[in-house]
Structure 1
Amino acid sequence: MLRRVLQPLWVLLALIFLIEAWLWDHLEPVVARVVAWIPLRAFKAWLAERVDALSPAMTLVVFIVPVIPLFPLKLVGLWLLAHEYWVSAVVILVLAKFLGVGVAAFIFDVTRPKLLQMAWFDKLYQWVMTIRARARAIVDPVKARIKAMMGAARGGWSSRLLRMVQHYRKRVREAR
């Protein structure tokens, strides 16, 4: 009984975790493109040289510190939410999220070898990778069922619904 009640919560948590992982995976190449576009490649090489000279503990500081300036940006987003500036708040919070994940991916790429030298960090990293695999195992069957339902519905009511929505959108545009 409890398992049945908690299953939607686990799926939701797994989805949130996978969205974070997806952002990480997809922002890393974007950051790489930005690095190629802006002269950050030289900065990355310079940073890698400096990190090689640091202890693993100091490398952790290098990993954490760049994300700290984004905290005030998130506070501004929360203030905007509290004062019902919904669009501005969402834009600020999404921007802070993308910047945070992008910067963290960039810095983690440089600092990963040193960070993984610390046993506790290596265990934490392996645990996160295990949780990610479990989250994917929870979400993948749900995604497959949704895709199967969408595939079955394509020829039926969904195409009629889509045509009806397109018809009404066209009428609204013509009325303007």
Structure 2
Amino acid sequence: MTDPRFKKRLLRALGFPFVLLAALLIWLEDWLWQPLGELMRRIGQLPLIRNIEALIRRAPPWLALACFAIPLVSLLPFKLAGLWLLGKGHLFSGMSVFLSAKVVGTALGARIFALTRPALMQLAWFARLWAGLIRLREYVYARVKAHPAWRLARRIKTGIRDWLRQLRD
């Protein structure tokens, strides 16, 4: 029988790469959310888009949910295709397809969420889910930032930045 301490250490060691991947995806989305939301807001100033956004803004909660979910779900096949290409060894095309779908999805998600958030938060289950996602994001970040590899990377980054400043001065 396997030693329970070994099993716990193994799960902890194997779990970190997945937490790191989740943190990278969350960071990418957080990093893109604001600038892409602003870009989509500017596009929303076009007359036709402005009229569509006005309709979305007035949508009742369940219709707002559909307006938010349908564009994001429609990009899922592209993300899966990117992962499939990666699995087949097509690194560049797989990453290109996946990241393109991620960027487009984040842009649409940021804008549509900004338009529908008041209606979506009227759905109690959605408000709980949103709060849970925020807590999950904070947990993942805290876990990654507490890992020795993260702390080492931060020290290296700070050292390089300080060294470059010294060279400049």
Q: Aligned residues, how many?
A: 152
The one of 68, 74, 93 aligned to 1:69: 74
Please give the residue correspondences for 1:133-144 in structure 2 after superposition, counting only pairs within 5 Å: 133-142=138-147, 143-144=150-151
Q: Does 1:105 align with 2:146?
A: no
Map of 1:40 onto structure 2? 44
Partners of 1:152 and 1:36 in 2: CA distance = 35
Aligned twin of 1:28 = 33
> Structure 2 counterpart of 1:89, which letter?
G
How far did residue 145 of structure 1 move? 3.5
Q: Which residue in the other structure is 1:145 paired with?
A: 152
* Alpha-carbon distance in 2 for matches of 1:46, 1:106: 14
- The offset of 1:83, in angstroms, is 5.5
Question: How many Å separate the matches in 2 of 1:78 and 1:18?
Answer: 18
Task: Report how far residue 151 of structure 1 moved.
Answer: 6.6
Contact preservation (8 Å) 1:59, 1:111: yes
Coordinate RMSD, CA, aligned: 2.9
* Partner in structure 2 of residue 171 of structure 1: none
C-alpha distance in 2, partners of 1:140/1:13?
14
Report whether the alignment pairs 1:11 with 2:11: no
Match of 1:168 in 2: none
Residue range with higher mean Cα deviation, 11-20 or 86-95: 11-20
The structure 2 residue matched to 1:59, chosen from 35, 58, 64, is 64
1:138 and 1:82 map into 2 onto residues whose CA distance is: 28
Q: 1:94 aligns with which of 99, 105, 128?
A: 99
TM-score of the pair, normalised by structure 2: 0.72
Unaligned 5+ segments in structure 2 are 161-169
- Where 1:133 maps in the other structure, the secondary structure is helix
CA contact (8 A) 1:24 1:102 kept: no
Task: Quickly say closer, same or farther: Cα 1:115–1:11, change in 2 above 3 A.
Answer: same
CA contact (8 A) 1:28 1:105 kept: yes
Higher relative contact order structure (alpha carbons within 8 Å, sequence separation ≥ 6): 1
TM-score scaled by length of structure 1: 0.69
Q: CA deviation at 1:27?
A: 1.3
Shift of 1:64: 0.7
The 8 Å contact of residues 53 and 115 in structure 2, kept in 1 or not, is answered as yes
Q: Which moved more, 1:123-132 or 1:52-61?
A: 52-61
Q: Decide whether aligned partners of structure 1 residues 78 and 126 sit closer, same or farther in structure 2, where only a CA change above 3 A counts.
A: closer
CA contact (8 A) 2:41 2:111 kept: no
Runs of 5+ unmatched residues, structure 1? 155-176
- Verify the 8 A CA contact 1:48 1:111 in the aligned structure 2: no
Which residue of 120, 125, 130 corresponds with 1:125? 130
